[in-house]
Chain A
């Protein structure tokens, strides 16, 4: 039982990171029906901004995270404006291919600028401590990741539920034309969505750096893919779905490595996901079809 609880503790941090990335996927999909394949790479850029903030500017980890969030919010807005907006009325496949292009662009421009090798997150930025909680070993980095992720998710929930901007985001994703008739600017609302989603990915990137101690230009691919699956698992376009999907994904992965072999980690995790989607194709939180449009 203790062993099991320990696995859960380990899985939570990973899950929190996936959940933060999954939120960006799901928010963007909800509003423009685009799978933003560059989203994982935005997380990578965030990790690098955090890295340079720690090493070059010598900031503390909180400042590094906020800096990364701001930088990636701007990056996300620019990507949407330059790459996706001109394609808003074209086919989905054209937008999807563009997203893959943006993804490769971000990966290889980073390699071009910084070289392909990984960089070590300075340990001094986050000296690791372990706590003993009733027999469970809890690392301070786990606490940092889970607490910051939960705080960010609460802020996000607040924005979406209670602020005028959040309500406009919901209105645009429900019915774009009707939203325009309310005087809501669709362009502005989509920009805000990209800004928020990218900032969350950047935060996840810095957490990932803290968690695994390294950053590299291709680090966004696998977590990006898993977060995407997490978003689909929760029901793409549904915000609580992305949160739950992300945590589930992280837990599953740690359970499989803990009890089985880390070799099968991804295979089993994805297998379980395929199974869930076979049973409920719209995802855990997805409405069943037959829903009126």
Chain B
């Protein structure tokens, strides 16, 4: 579905991604794990078109993405739940969800999707008139996910959805990610929480200072000595 080949991304002189190649197969959950500063967010921003690679290509369903405008990339079916949630703080929950569906015109189906988001996250329904900035961290994460789902993405990019959440909530979020995938959305999940990510993913990549150092089936990586010592706390 999506394949990046030899991506080189720079921030000025900083070489943030080095010949990065990953592949996401339709219908799967692929996780990209790595320490803080490894280049995970940079990878997702490059796929979404917020950053442009100096070299390399990203092919999504036979289209080269690196020249496509970011809003067109959303239109093509790729949505992102950005790092730190990035909800529109002084807009209501409802307005945030509407923004997620900004490019859609199918009013009827949008209303259905809104209902689906509210069924999935009843807390958001209760708080739909409330400003997003007044929600708790977990609720904001749910809103960020719901907002991305409102675009009806085929590929959902998620940047550290468990960041800063209590363990119980983390578990809930991962259950939700699994469920979204089972309902047909392909997911590229970026995480520092390697254990949780590997437990729900099909395939996994490990990134270190901008390079993929390991990849394979998620359950194989879970048992690999290198991953255990570096990311799973022994």
Q: Does the CB pair B82–A178 fall under 8 Å?
A: yes
Query: How many inter-chain residue pairs (CB < 8 Å) link A and B?
Result: 63
Q: Does the CB pair A180–B102 fall under 8 Å?
A: no
Complex CA distance for A182 and B80, rounded to whole angstroms: 8
Q: How far is the CB of A238 from chain B (nearest CB, A)?
A: 10
Complex CA distance for A175 and B144, rounded to whole angstroms: 13
Q: Does the CB pair B74–A183 fall under 8 Å?
A: yes
In residues 149-186 of chain A, which contact B (Cβ within 8 Å)?
164, 167-168, 170-171, 174-175, 177-185
Pick the interface stretch among B12-20, B92-100, B225-233.
Answer: B92-100
Q: Does the CB pair B102–A175 fall under 8 Å?
A: no
Q: Does the CB pair B50–A183 fall under 8 Å?
A: no
Known: A167-B98, A168-B99. A181 touches B90 (CB 8 A): no
Q: Does the CB pair B99–A167 fall under 8 Å?
A: yes
In residues 70-127 of chain B, which contact A (Cβ within 8 Å)?
70-71, 74-75, 79-80, 82, 86-91, 95, 98-100, 102-103
Q: Does the CB pair A181–B70 fall under 8 Å?
A: yes
Complex CA distance for A283 and B163, rounded to whole angstroms: 35
Q: Does the CB pair B82–A182 fall under 8 Å?
A: no
> Given B71, B80, B95, B103, which contacts A167 in the complex, CB threshold below 8 Å?
B95
Q: How far is the CB of A206 from chain B (nearest CB, A)?
A: 33
Contacts of B70 in A (CB 8 A): 180-181, 183
Known: A164-B102, A171-B99. A181 touches B79 (CB 8 A): yes
Complex CA distance for A175 and B71, rounded to whole angstroms: 15
Contacts of B98 in A (CB 8 A): 164, 167
Q: How far is the CB of B77 from chain A (nearest CB, A)?
A: 11
Complex CA distance for A174 and B88, rounded to whole angstroms: 6
Q: How far is the CB of B187 from chain A (nearest CB, A)?
A: 16
Q: How far is the CB of B74 from chain A (nearest CB, A)?
A: 4
> Given B48, B71, B79, B147, which contacts A184 in the complex, CB threshold below 8 Å?
B71
Is B151 positioned at the interface, with any CB of A under 8 Å from its CB? Answer: yes
Q: Does the CB pair A175–B99 fall under 8 Å?
A: no
Q: Does the CB pair A182–B99 fall under 8 Å?
A: yes
Complex CA distance for A183 and B102, rounded to whole angstroms: 7
Contacts of B133 in A (CB 8 A): 292
> Given B50, B69, B90, B100, which contacts A182 in the complex, CB threshold below 8 Å?
B100
Contacts of A183 in B (CB 8 A): 70-71, 74-75, 102-103, 151
Contacts of A182 in B (CB 8 A): 74, 99-100, 102-103, 147, 151
Complex CA distance for A181 and B101, rounded to whole angstroms: 11
- Among A171, A175, A180, A181, chain B packs the most CB atoms within 10 A around the CB of A181
Q: How far is the CB of B11 from chain A (nearest CB, A)?
A: 13
Interface size class of A (residues with CB under 8 A): 10 to 19
Question: Please, which residue of chain B has its CB at the minimum distance from the CB of A170?
Answer: B91
Question: Please, which residue of chain A has its CB at the minimum distance from the CB of B132?
Answer: A174
Contacts of B100 in A (CB 8 A): 182
Contacts of A292 in B (CB 8 A): 89, 133
In residues 245-293 of chain A, which contact B (Cβ within 8 Å)?
292
Q: Does the CB pair A184–B82 fall under 8 Å?
A: no
Q: Does the CB pair A181–B75 fall under 8 Å?
A: no
Complex CA distance for A164 and B82, rounded to whole angstroms: 22
Q: Does the CB pair B99–A177 fall under 8 Å?
A: no
Q: Does the CB pair A171–B151 fall under 8 Å?
A: no
Complex CA distance for A171 and B80, rounded to whole angstroms: 16
Q: Does the CB pair B80–A181 fall under 8 Å?
A: yes
Contacts of A175 in B (CB 8 A): 86, 88
Q: How far is the CB of B96 from chain A (nearest CB, A)?
A: 9
In residues 169-218 of chain A, which contact B (Cβ within 8 Å)?
170-171, 174-175, 177-185
Q: Does the CB pair B91–A174 fall under 8 Å?
A: yes
Question: Please, which residue of chain A has its CB at the minimum distance from the CB of B80?
Answer: A181
The contact string, 1 if C-beta is below 8 Å from chain B, for chain A 221-263, is 0000000000000000000000000000000000000000000
Q: Does the CB pair A181–B103 fall under 8 Å?
A: no
Additional 14 contacts, C-beta under 8 A, given A171-B91, A179-B88, A181-B70: A167-B99, A168-B99, A170-B88, A171-B88, A174-B88, A178-B87, A179-B99, A180-B70, A180-B71, A181-B79, A181-B82, A183-B70, A184-B71, A292-B133
Jot down 26 A-B pairs with beta carbons below 8 A, ordered by A: A164-B98, A167-B91, A167-B99, A168-B102, A170-B90, A171-B91, A171-B99, A174-B90, A174-B91, A175-B86, A177-B50, A177-B82, A180-B71, A181-B48, A181-B50, A181-B79, A181-B80, A181-B82, A181-B86, A182-B99, A182-B103, A183-B75, A183-B102, A184-B99, A185-B69, A185-B71
Partner-B contacts on A (CB < 8 A): 164, 167-168, 170-171, 174-175, 177-185, 292
Q: Which 9 residue pairs are nearest across A and B when measured between Cβ atoms?
A: A183-B74, A183-B103, A178-B86, A183-B71, A182-B102, A182-B99, A174-B88, A180-B70, A183-B102
